[in-house]
Amino acid sequence: MAGSERTVVWFRRDLRIDDNPALASAARDGAVLPVFIWCPADEGQFYPGRCSRWWLKQSLPHLSQSLESLGCPLVLIRAESTLEALLRCIDSVGATRLVYNHLYDPVSLVRDDKIKKELSALGISIQSFNGDLLYEPWEIYDDSGLAFTTFNMYWEKCMELPIDASPSLAPWKLVPVPGLESVRSCSVDDLGLESSKDEESSNALLMRAWSPGWRNAEKMLEEFVSHGLLEYSKHGMKVEGATTSLLSPYLHFGEVSVRKVYQLVRMQQIKWENEGTSEAEESIHFFMRSIGLREYSRYLCFNFPFTHEKSLLGNLKHYPWKVDEERFKSWRQGMTGYPLVDAGMRELWATGWTHNRIRVIISSFAVKFLLIPWTWGMKYFWDVLLDADLESDILGWQYISGSLPDGHELSRLDNPEVQGQKYDPDGVYVRTWIPELARMPTEWIHHPWDAPSCILEVAGVELGFNYPKPIVDLHIARECLDDSISTMWQLDTAEKLAELDGEVVEDNLSNIKTFDIPKVVLRETSPCALPIDQRVPHASSKDHNLKSKVLKASNRSSICVDMIRSSKMEATSSVANSPVSRKRSFCETAFHVPSYSSSAEVHSHIQDHGGSLVGPSRYLLQEAGRNYVDEWSI
């Protein structure tokens, strides 16, 4: 034994033996006490969903068996307070040191900071390590020392820096701390990760498709690098089948390290270069961008910790989101009347998984067609995805909603029919998840509402009865989106006028209450069985307080007169009759459209607008990172 230190190793989302810097450090310095603490109270509104908790329940015994084979079992603790549980462990074995690997989501950042301060004040040595990233968020800044706000600039900077991609070796032996028997450990069942018999029966379906655990993660990685990586770039055009690496849940739970992924991919790249396999270059490029996006999601959360509840771009705080519970329910249940969207939502409900491209399509539909608050969609993804990852979901939903400087244009509206023909040209994916349309000819599968009545009759489809009509027509969605953007800019101008009177304007999202998505229960039936009803969020009665508050300054500008008229509309009413041409002319002539040429300019807007980015046409930054979230998961 290299030292006599007694160290508590705090496992979180680093459930592996190999390349675990916290575990390796503790093993080098003396005796160890490996601990995993399950504290639901610490998770708050981001309590993990059913599929995510199922994965955790399978992974912990796998880790425990590996640790026990090295000489030291994993202590499992269910606690009301993580801090108190750690203190009890430290006191029970006389430990003088706590080690753990970094996490970067908003919940963990606050908790870890509190624990570090409390234990340091008690004389406990605290040491944390990078076990999750190639680059720490505080290592990458521009020449002015400011955080990057576009992915391409960030990733280009990363590529200029050296990467320490050599994974740390797994310890060959662990020495348990004296007094280990005095620490009370519970079973994995006692953690309460499956809260009902219904969840247990539903989770049995997941075991058929997935094998959690760090050794299985390494097998999956090796399989992908050997057989899937070469065709990775082509798979972006296919939404059916296992066409991605399927590594994202393993990476989220830290069952495989990103350093190991990078190392194996680079070794394969060198091998292909030596063999002259030129077609591999594009796939390597796309996969490394996926790794980069995962890095960037942590980078954004660390440098802009408000992004789980506020848009990065400050002008979005005036966006008139529609607090429409019925539309939100139709979207969740896969009953929007747009086949590709509905197929994606039903697959998500049934399996906790969808292809990257489908994630982009269904999230874009929610925020652009239905004008549902992006925070609702993000929370729903968190609750149902098997690979739910808060940082990645924040990045994805902010990007899709136009909340990032290099995200989708706020006015962008993708046609689900066109996307269906592009990504599911034969209708295989839609037929798999929507049995109502199983007999529809391929010609009409993505737009059944246009099919002749005789075709619908033969296919057994009765629109509005066994399959819904489109929840909103494309041209109506276009006009509603344009109207919302126009209203946003009018409110943005009114806020500037109101500020002259010293008024403070709230973010529209702050008036939308948070909510709980119910636990998902799956029936062992066809993959497209419709979901049972769900609870939906409640609209705040103060949804329009912001508008009335801002309008006090309306007498200063004729612009505000128009804005007053438009602001009297109900949040869920149709705005199809608004003159689109007038709105576009208004937006083009009434506002100065700035552009950001550097991070410094972007950050100056953050400081001027209470911590968020702002500016009516940050669209000029689109070219810096267009379409990068097409690789939502790895």
- Binding site members: 232, 244-248, 287, 387-389
Other beta carbons less than 10 A from residue 533's beta carbon: 10
CA angle 273-274-280, nearest 5°?
A: 25
* d(C-alpha 333, C-alpha 349), whole Å: 8
Phi and psi at residue 192, in whole multiples of 5°? 75, 35
**Are 78 and 38 in contact, with CB atoms under 8 Å apart?**
yes
Contacts of 72 (CB under 8 A, 6+ apart): 32, 33, 34, 174, 175, 176, 180
Alpha-helix runs per DSSP H in 99-177 = 106-121, 151-160
Place of tokens 């006090």: 552
Structure tokens, 275:
């063999």
Nearest residue to 188 (alpha-carbon basis) of 15, 389, 25, 7: 15
Which residues of 1-154 form beta strands (DSSP E)?
A: 5-11, 30-38, 75-78, 97-101, 125-129
Q: Facing residues of 8 across strands? A: 33, 98
- Using CA atoms, how far apart are residues 494 and 559, in angstroms rounded to an integer? 8
3-class DSSP state for residue 395? helix
User: Largest Cα–Cα distance in the chain?
Assistant: 82
For residues 363 and 331, what is the distance between their CA atoms, to the nearest angstrom?
10
- How many angstroms separate the Cα of 276 from the Cα of each of 235, 267, 279, 300? 22, 14, 9, 38
Q: 403 vs 312, 441, 596, 614, CA distance in Å? A: 6, 39, 15, 10
Orientation angle between helical segments 50-69 and 374-384, nearest 10 degrees: 40
The binding site for FAD consists of 232, 244-248, 287, 387-389
